Amino acid sequence: MKNLRYLTLVGITLSLFALSGCDGSGKPAIGIEDEILVFADSLDYVEMEETLQKVFGKIIYTPQPENLFDLEWRDITKINSYKRRKNIIIIAPLGEQTNASVYMGNLLDSNVTQMVKSGKEFFFTKYDQWAKNQLVMVLTSNSLNELRDKIEANQDDLLYYFQKISDKRLSDKLYAAVYEQKPVQAQLLDKYGWIVYVQIDFHLAKEVPEDNFVWLRRAPGSDMERWIFVHWIDNASPSYLEKDSVIAIRDRITKKYYRTADESNFVEIAPFEEYTKTSEVNFKGRYALMTEGLWRMDDKSMGGPFVNYTFFDQETNRIYMLDGSLYAPKYKKKKLIQQVDVLLKSWKPKYELSEDRIEELMDELPEEE
């Protein structure tokens, strides 16, 4: 079995961390979802900008290059005007006489300050500090050079925090009961033993029980299609969890089921290795391989981004593959593929549902004649 450290969430927030003077009003955080405001001394920001852009402004290809987050610098003396923004970074070395460093010294309690001085910690997070669903991250160390090295060495953990809170805010918007197709979810639960949130504008495009395949599709034939499929292997072994196996299984599935109406062409993973990335992640408490990349028709007539989670579910002894794709040639795709990703994360097996939830869904099944 894979290393169990991946079954623990990345970058657990330290319980010893304290931001002084929480004054959250309970109002929701505002601002652009993928914008991070960075409060720092102007000279410090100039020195740290390249590193911060590398970590938080990482480029993804959809296939157009898009930044995960856009960074905007603000003077620390203006922070009161921006306290309700969604994503905030405060960055400064300790013990200097700049406005940002003095603010930092007043922000952290003595225990945390000592941890920074000793080199044990350099970043701390606080949720809902000044607004609901807000993330404030503090980055500090004894010097900018030391801080730069630590940020670069821990870049995946730091980025994860902002991705996670962004997903949460998006899921709060997407998972609305009024837009939920309970009859379709009930059908999936009854037949296959799992559910995924089905928005009102998705329809059940294909079911192939003998091949353990279900396809949900949004807006077929439009200029903004979204596809989700769930495939599973019964009586499986965790040994299937290898990068090459994931790619081979996905290509087999899409070649078989993602085809043009005349059956002449099919979807495949675009053969651009620099755009295909497989990472070891935690998927709802399970070790998983997350594969991100680009798909295309085999005749190169169309394409777009996809995201895929493949994992072993010990309780059911199944390998699951959850996959989301997007076709939106006229639009920027980063936010759209994030929506697909959040929908994939709504997947749940029956044994994780409460009895009340199961009963609620089963009531949506049509009565047998």
Taking only the tens of pLDDT, the chain with its 369 residues reads 444 333 333 333 443 344 544 555 589 999 999 999 999 999 999 999 999 999 999 998 898 899 999 999 999 999 999 999 999 999 999 988 899 999 988 888 888 889 999 999 999 999 999 999 999 999 999 999 999 999 999 999 999 999 999 999 999 888 877 889 999 999 999 999 999 999 999 999 999 999 999 999 998 888 899 999 999 999 998 988 999 999 999 999 999 999 999 999 999 999 888 889 999 999 999 999 999 999 999 999 999 999 999 999 999 999 999 999 999 999 999 999 999 999 999 999 999 999 999 999 999 998 765
**Contacting residues for 358 by C-beta, under 8 A, at least 6 apart:** 189, 350
User: Tokens standing for 333?
Assistant: 């795709």
Q: What pLDDT, on a 0 to 100 scale, did the predictor assign at position 274? A: 84
Q: What pLDDT, on a 0 to 100 scale, did the predictor assign at position 219? A: 86
Q: What pLDDT, on a 0 to 100 scale, did the predictor assign at position 15? A: 36
For residue 16, give the nearest of 98, 143, 120, 101 by alpha carbon: 120
Sign of CA dihedral 141, 144, 146, 149: positive
205: burial class by Cβ within 10 Å (0-12, 13-18, 19+)? middle
Q: Does 3.90.1150.10 match the CATH number of domain 177-362?
A: no
Q: What pLDDT, on a 0 to 100 scale, did the predictor assign at position 179? A: 83
Per-domain residue ranges of the chain: 11-168, 177-362
Q: What pLDDT, on a 0 to 100 scale, did the predictor assign at position 209? A: 97
CATH tag, 11-168: 3.40.50
Q: What pLDDT, on a 0 to 100 scale, did the predictor assign at position 24? A: 55
238 cis-preceded (ω within 30 degrees of 0): no
Q: What pLDDT, on a 0 to 100 scale, did the predictor assign at position 175? A: 85
CA–CA dist 336, 341 (Å, integer): 9
pTM above 0.95, yes or no: no
Asked if 221 contacts 211 with a C-beta cutoff of 8 angstroms, the reply is no
DSSP string, 79-113: GGGGTTBSEEEEE--TT-SSHHHHHHHHHB-HHHH
DSSP letter at 234 equals S
